[in-house]
Structure 1
């Protein structure tokens, strides 16, 4: 019964039809007094939401065609979908397919909530020395992240803002607990008992890949063995997400800031706030979304303009990261003739540039230089950032290509 308060906290983001079990528990056991009675009454009045963001990691099923025409107007990041007839038809399709998967979604939410430890807010507050600024690791769209000591272990605690987006973030992270892998940041626990909801993760001692690539004055340059370990680990994690079940899980925001590094520089993919379940079945190549979210320099054109989401979006993002790892060039540079790195590297490939010349300048001319490995990294990046998603490799193919690379020091990592 200790999970009932947590389940109640999730109700604003979960459709009323998925809350049957919770209402039965409250009614049968008299949990929560007047507030619980009010909850049951409010749940009965709650209307069905047809936007796909109302359920976690949504799956769009039969009825959405692969060759569906794109909308008449395009949207930038976080833009609203056009309100035309095609959007109306899409909403009807989503509504009908939600009926088919209502029980699966409910079971997934409840199963994952019940398997994750629920922690006391006051314990997390004490772990961070009352949310001290000295322990602040960073800020994001959903809140703040603090370093803390919990059960004598260093952890990262994400304190979430009290918004509707927070509820969706919570559900996604809790549902993703089933995707456990060496290269995916593990969730240790959660708390709903205090002023803010909190999520507790493994603490990553070496920060993010972005810090390693950008803060050159604070860190020595990564060796090629370290760069390979990071690229190889991220590819392994992504191919796992894309292939573990019949329905791929699309991260949606792969970038250096979301690639976290432990004390051995082993990468773990974090921040699944934009993750979604992708198309399923051999005849489905992508699904249409009503809104585009993510980080512009890492997103392909078919997603930005046509709202076509598929695992190829993650492949594209990974390709940009690969070029960054090899060269330390920024993903966007207004001083470049072609500002976006993904567009610029495609142009350089067409012009016949030797990719070895793009090696991180801090490595060139040193014993750590490896032009051949740089050439291979950039070539993979070029392949992954092809304009047409059909021309890009799968993450499994990328992983195998990296796994087969041979270079001095590889087997001593």
Structure 2
């Protein structure tokens, strides 16, 4: 593409842009440039991002200049493009008469080309933002009633002509706004965002149009691509690249040309897994079918959260509904199979019902809406029996776990024996080194890599200080970039005489079996001389503490994000306590040890102090209490009694800090004899709990009842008596079942930092800056 030198950001009636002179307009902030560019031997007038020439808007996309001559100029109160023959191939098509000398064009700092009169410099008579091509910029609109306010993809990556694929916003007869891609209904509007798309739109209630939000010091664009998918890119200053912050292509539910992979009564998740909704069972040939027939007056509704709403709903006429009122309307109609309360406009909610078989359903990680599905009452009772907090493991699963443990024990014993034999033979015959033996005997999955030291050395820029992203008690953490472009986090363990090669092998083998979406994932390891390196996935959004305790970044975590983070941490902790064999105690849960990945999904990290429990035991005595003051329970800090309920206490502190944006330890220091836990409890007790909530995340997703319920869960977790705290299984159920799950009123935590610090036993306090996963797992003696 050929582009040229610049004039200024304005064009008067006496000036012109000529293709042969390669002159352009440049916005005053030097970010946007408008001029002629070439593609496939054809010429177009376009507006591009000046730093990397990404084309954002094309004027004559369907009528290109075929020769090397073209000019942009004013003619009869219009901005026009003329070809070599003097024919007009594009125009702003303004009607009416006026004085030629009064008009001029200006390229604004947001990339908008506007035409205006000199005597009205703040107004305009035409703007390019009203005529989008394939890209939407902040300040541009999509209009449900105006087909011209749609994005049409390029035909190909080098052909700007309008393709047949388009993206728009539709206002459907059922009262639901949704993103529409070439007549396929995609993500629905919940009053704040479309599906799990980042909240880049805001609804203009007066005009029913959607404006792309402008974010301070940030430039984003939404593009409809020729591949049929839409993307959001954000410019990264300094690095000078567009970072893809959202990709529809990554959503497996939409990959098959927008056909979901799941059938009736089944839900598709973003990773393309399908699962049947409550009240139905999987058919042998695939798909789902109801277990029990519906009985109109006896049925109940099951709430599904973060859902895409089905098509072909019927909007119920009437004023703004409540959930109960909408449910009653659907319950009286035996043909009504599901309903939802939809916020079509701000503070205006309509009741929508569906009579057909639920199909094409999908769930989001964030966003979406509550969908209520009709199920037989007997199915709900079956669900309660099999999913309650006292759920027993299936006998088959127990047998499988036992057999797995026996096999694992046999493998470990065999590995130790082989290691000894090879080591003995190497002494006599000069065989492989101990490092080579260890690396060859680690039983690893295909996704795990035994990495070469040189690769890691180059990826971290020779372990340079500029790549250092953290420092913990077990060694520094470096950010690295592999040759394939993937980013990693490398923990370089300090050489410790207490940890030999066999222990390192055991450590890696164990951590590989801790796999959960809310736990940081180990990708590989390396042993090189005295260097022992653990390689983890790199999480771009840093730690939870870098948001909730930072006034500038705190508003980036709205209530919906915080609520999902609290649930995610609980699910990760529940996995460690209940679904690993033997169970694992984290022992140092705090905001700096919770990392945030893409879409702000929380991942528990830093297993450097983790401890394995004997299977079947609930608590153990430790020689030394380790952890971070402010997060350690009193029975652990004072008496060295560690249990799953100690982790629950730490989780409760983290939850209350997420709600308040304040550190418990700092509050205790500033208010001797008091604690953040007791302060929140007093406010909750006297009915003013919302007053202690961090005001920086009050937004459209803020739900007062949900906030107060979360506060109650947090206070239940920090009870002074460990037996009064809920288990992690119960916490997960409390979040999943919402108001249907009863929570006993918590008593005063009575937490005293000074009392907890007065332990007669040795206590090891960790550095709160540690933010990367490390596994140092050892077995404890059961009480």
TM-score, length of structure 1 as denominator length: 0.69
Give, in angstroms, the shift of residue 398 of structure 1.
0.5
Q: Deviations over 1:23-46 (max 9, x none)?
A: 212234669839969xxxxxxxxx
Q: Deviations over 1:106-145 (max 9, x none)?
A: 9xx9546999422111110100111122221111111111
Q: Deviations over 1:209-240 (max 9, x none)?
A: 01111222245341111001111111111111
Q: Check whether the contact 1:113–1:174 (CA below 8 A) recurs between aligned residues.
A: no
Q: Check whether the contact 1:137–1:145 (CA below 8 A) recurs between aligned residues.
A: yes
Q: Deviations over 1:148-181 (max 9, x none)?
A: 1124201111112112466667754542211111
CA distance in 2 between partners of 1:258 and 1:227 (Å): 16
TM-score, length of structure 2 as denominator length: 0.38
Q: Check whether the contact 1:142–1:166 (CA below 8 A) recurs between aligned residues.
A: no
Higher relative contact order (CA closer than 8 Å, sequence separation 6+):
1
Q: Which runs of 5+ in 1 are unaligned?
A: 1-15, 38-105, 407-413
**Aligned pair 1:183/2:518, yes or no?**
yes
Give, in angstroms, the shift of residue 268 of structure 1.
1.0
Report 1:41-52 matches (<5 A): none
Q: Which runs of 5+ in 2 are unaligned?
A: 1-412, 740-783
Say which structure is richer in helix. 1
Q: Of residues 387, 405, 423 in structure 2, which corresponds to 1:26?
A: 423
Say which structure is richer in strand. 2
What residue is the counterpart of 1:133 in the other structure? 465
Number of aligned residue pairs: give it: 320
Q: Check whether the contact 2:683–2:692 (CA below 8 A) recurs between aligned residues.
A: no
What residue is the counterpart of 2:703 in the other structure? 370
CA distance in 1 between partners of 2:499 and 2:551 (Å): 34
SS in 2 for 1:404: helix
CA distance in 1 between partners of 2:547 and 2:429 (Å): 49
Q: Check whether the contact 1:259–1:268 (CA below 8 A) recurs between aligned residues.
A: yes
Larger Rg: 2
Report 1:10-409 matches (<5 A): 19-28=416-425, 33=430, 111=443, 116-150=448-482, 151-164=484-497, 171-194=506-529, 196-218=531-553, 220-245=555-580, 247-281=582-616, 284-332=617-665, 333=667, 334-346=669-681, 348=683, 352-364=686-698, 366-405=699-738
Give, in angstroms, the shift of residue 370 of structure 1.
3.3
Sort the Cα spacing of 1:194 and 1:128 in 2 relative to 1 into closer, same or farther, 3 A: farther
SS in 2 for 1:189: strand
Give, in angstroms, the shift of residue 260 of structure 1.
0.7
What residue is the counterpart of 2:281 in the other structure? none
CA distance in 2 between partners of 1:339 and 1:380 (Å): 20
SS in 1 for 2:598: coil
Two-structure CA RMSD over aligned residues (Å): 3.3
Sort the Cα spacing of 1:397 and 1:264 in 2 relative to 1 into closer, same or farther, 3 A: same
Give, in angstroms, the shift of residue 273 of structure 1.
1.0
Q: Deviations over 1:42-75 (max 9, x none)?
A: xxxxxxxxxxxxxxxxxxxxxxxxxxxxxxxxxx
Give, in angstroms, the shift of residue 197 of structure 1.
1.5
CA distance in 1 between partners of 2:657 and 2:508 (Å): 28
Q: Deviations over 1:50-108 (max 9, x none)?
A: xxxxxxxxxxxxxxxxxxxxxxxxxxxxxxxxxxxxxxxxxxxxxxxxxxxxxxxx9xx
Q: Deviations over 1:281-326 (max 9, x none)?
A: 2xx4311111111112111111112211111111111100110111
CA distance in 2 between partners of 1:403 and 1:189 (Å): 34
Q: Check whether the contact 1:258–1:271 (CA below 8 A) recurs between aligned residues.
A: yes
Q: Check whether the contact 1:326–1:378 (CA below 8 A) recurs between aligned residues.
A: yes
Q: Deviations over 1:215-271 (max 9, x none)?
A: 222453411110011111111111111111464211111111111111210111111
Deviates more, 1:126-135 or 1:215-224: 215-224
CA distance in 2 between partners of 1:313 and 1:207 (Å): 25
CA distance in 1 between partners of 2:681 and 2:429 (Å): 60
Sort the Cα spacing of 1:347 and 1:219 in 2 relative to 1 into closer, same or farther, 3 A: closer
CA distance in 2 between partners of 1:242 and 1:34 (Å): 42
SS in 2 for 1:138: strand
Q: Check whether the contact 2:443–2:509 (CA below 8 A) recurs between aligned residues.
A: no
CA distance in 2 between partners of 1:160 and 1:131 (Å): 13
Q: Check whether the contact 1:144–1:160 (CA below 8 A) recurs between aligned residues.
A: yes
Give, in angstroms, the shift of residue 352 of structure 1.
3.2
